[in-house]
């Protein structure tokens, strides 16, 4: 059984890495300015490079694809952890309000420190590096409120968790909307696009800002992913194994909130990746979270790169926020899971 699960895991990883490479190729070569494979190779290797090709690849498309990949990985991992901790397949950073809390905190930072999304350039190092920290505070506050209201006699009530998450998400979204309405017209337009989930203004500074969060916190989660298997048991059974349940849950939850906050700081409120990716991974690699966590990361990366490609090309020359494309797929999938759980 162990060898079968390992074989399924390896096949899944290889298939989705191949699909991601194909999506990467189409994203890099297609758009308002199409390029051939030869053009891309020459530009990357600096062989008879064209200035226009260099600008398109290195300043616009490559940072955008890399950000999509990193954010997809982060949201896939965070979604798996939250579903594992809560033992609820309908849990997701967006549905539970963690995204909304992080977004509200970041918009608060933009509003009071006069840092508009339109000013996010490679020269704003300090501001961009501060945004994940503000997002982390907002995400932690949202998670704290949700878990306080969802606890019933010391036990996490799953129904209350979802309902509280929806309520908290609505509350933080209202705060975000209020603050964005106080911005000037131009900044409000950009903030509104960012809130709905967008990565089209990505640059290399964004990548440097969130990469340490994903690498460090993602590594901790992967190292502790075996604990998520134990958390599917009754709490008394887990404690009898000598596992400090509250401590380990807190570490995993804080790590996932940190990852979500870093992702939100550069991509806005992209939802449903953390819901869909773990479900697909679970169907393909089984119930062992040691396999589900990395599989969810790869699947999340693929889903976000593909979604951003469609967001970029579907209504050329206009672009859709990638969060809208994800929601078009995610909302029906969430309703399907809800109906399935009810049945």
Residue with token string 């420190």: 113
The structure's pTM equals 0.90
Q: What is the mean pLDDT of residues 156-184?
A: 83
> How many CB atoms sit inside 10 A of residue 333's CB?
14
Q: Where residue 84 falls among pLDDT bands split at 50, 70, 90?
A: very high
CA distance 142 to 97: 6
**Residue 228 clears pLDDT 80, i.e. is over it:** yes
**Could you tell me if 76 and 271 are in contact, meaning their C-beta atoms sit under 8 angstroms apart?**
no
**Could you tell me if 142 and 95 are in contact, meaning their C-beta atoms sit under 8 angstroms apart?**
no
Q: What is the mean pLDDT of residues 245-258?
A: 89
CA distance 204 to 60: 10
**Residue 87 clears pLDDT 80, i.e. is over it:** yes
Closest CA to 84 of 195, 249, 308: 249
CA distance 104 to 101: 5
Please give the distance of CA 190 from its chain centroid, rounded to a whole number.
20
Q: What is the mean pLDDT of residues 313-336?
A: 83
For the chain, the average pLDDT equals 85
Three-class SS of residue 156?
strand
Lowest mean pLDDT among 76-80, 126-130, 288-292, 339-343: 339-343
Three-class SS of residue 168?
helix
pLDDT recorded at residue 342? 63
Query: Which pair of tokens denotes residue 129?
Result: 């590096």
> How many CB atoms sit inside 10 A of residue 226's CB?
12
What sign for the dihedral angle of Cα 223, 225, 226, 228?
positive
Q: pLDDT tens digits for 108-128? A: 887 777 555 445 554 466 777
Q: pLDDT tens digits for 291-314? A: 999 999 999 999 999 999 998 888
Angle between helices 185-195 and 98-112 (to 10 degrees): 160
Query: Between the CA of residue 247 and those of 3, 234, 239, 300, what are the distances in Å?
Result: 32, 16, 11, 27
CA distance 102 to 141: 9
**Could you tell me if 109 and 333 are in contact, meaning their C-beta atoms sit under 8 angstroms apart?**
no
- For 17, the domain range is 2-342
Query: Between the CA of residue 75 and those of 99, 150, 178, 264, 271, what are the distances in Å?
Result: 10, 23, 26, 9, 9
Three-class SS of residue 48?
coil
Instruction: Give all strands (DSSP E) within the chain, no chain letters.
Output: 151-152, 155-156
Q: pLDDT tens digits for 201-214? A: 788 888 988 999 99
Three-class SS of residue 202?
coil
Q: What is the mean pLDDT of residues 76-101?
A: 88
Q: pLDDT tens digits for 15-40? A: 999 999 999 999 998 877 778 888 88
pLDDT recorded at residue 178? 87
End-to-end Cα separation, the chain, in angstroms: 30
Closest CA to 148 of 160, 166, 136: 160
Residue with token string 């994940």: 132
Q: Where residue 339 falls among pLDDT bands split at 50, 70, 90?
A: confident
pLDDT recorded at residue 118? 45
Q: What is the percentage of the chain residues whose pLDDT exceeds 90?
A: 33
**What is the total count of domains within the chain?**
1
CATH number of the CATH domain containing 188: 1.10.3470.10
């Amino acid at each position: 059984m162990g060898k079968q699960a390992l074989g399924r895991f390896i096949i899944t990883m290889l298939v989705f890495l191949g699909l991601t490479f194909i999506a990467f190729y189409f994203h890099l070569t297609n758009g308002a300015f199409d390029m051939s494979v030869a053009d891309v190779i020459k530009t990357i290797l600096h062989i008879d490079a064209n200035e226009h090709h260099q600008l398109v690849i290195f300043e616009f498309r490559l940072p955008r694809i890399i950000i999509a990949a990193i954010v997809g990985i982060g949201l896939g991992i965070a979604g798996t952890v939250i579903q594992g901790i809560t033992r609820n397949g309908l849990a997701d950073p967006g549905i539970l309000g963690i995204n909304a809390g992080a977004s509200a905190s970041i918009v608060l930072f933009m509003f009071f420190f006069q840092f508009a999304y339109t000013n996010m350039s490679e020269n704003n190092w300090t501001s961009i590096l501060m945004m994940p920290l503000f997002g982390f505070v907002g995400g932690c506050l949202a998670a704290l409120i949700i878990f306080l209201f969802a606890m019933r006699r010391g036990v996490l009530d799953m129904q209350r968790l979802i309902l509280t998450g929806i309520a908290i998400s609505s509350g933080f979204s209202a705060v975000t909307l209020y603050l964005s309405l106080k911005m000037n017209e131009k900044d409000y337009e950009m903030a509104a696009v960012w809130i709905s989930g967008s990565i089209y203004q990505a640059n290399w500074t964004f990548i440097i800002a969130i990469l340490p969060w994903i690498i460090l916190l993602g590594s901790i989660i992967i190292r502790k992913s075996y604990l998520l298997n134990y958390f599917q048991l009754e709490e008394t059974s887990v404690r009898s194994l000598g596992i400090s349940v509250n401590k380990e849950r807190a570490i995993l939850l804080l790590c996932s909130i940190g990852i979500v906050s870093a992702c939100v700081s550069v991509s806005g409120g992209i939802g449903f990746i953390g819901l869909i990716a773990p479900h697909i991974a679970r169907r393909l690699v089984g119930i062992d979270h040691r396999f589900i966590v990395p599989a969810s990361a790869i699947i999340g990366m693929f889903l976000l790169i593909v979604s951003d490609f469609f967001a970029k090309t579907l209504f050329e020359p206009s672009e859709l926020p990638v969060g809208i494309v994800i929601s078009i797929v995610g909302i029906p999938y969430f309703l399907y899971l809800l109906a399935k759980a009810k049945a």
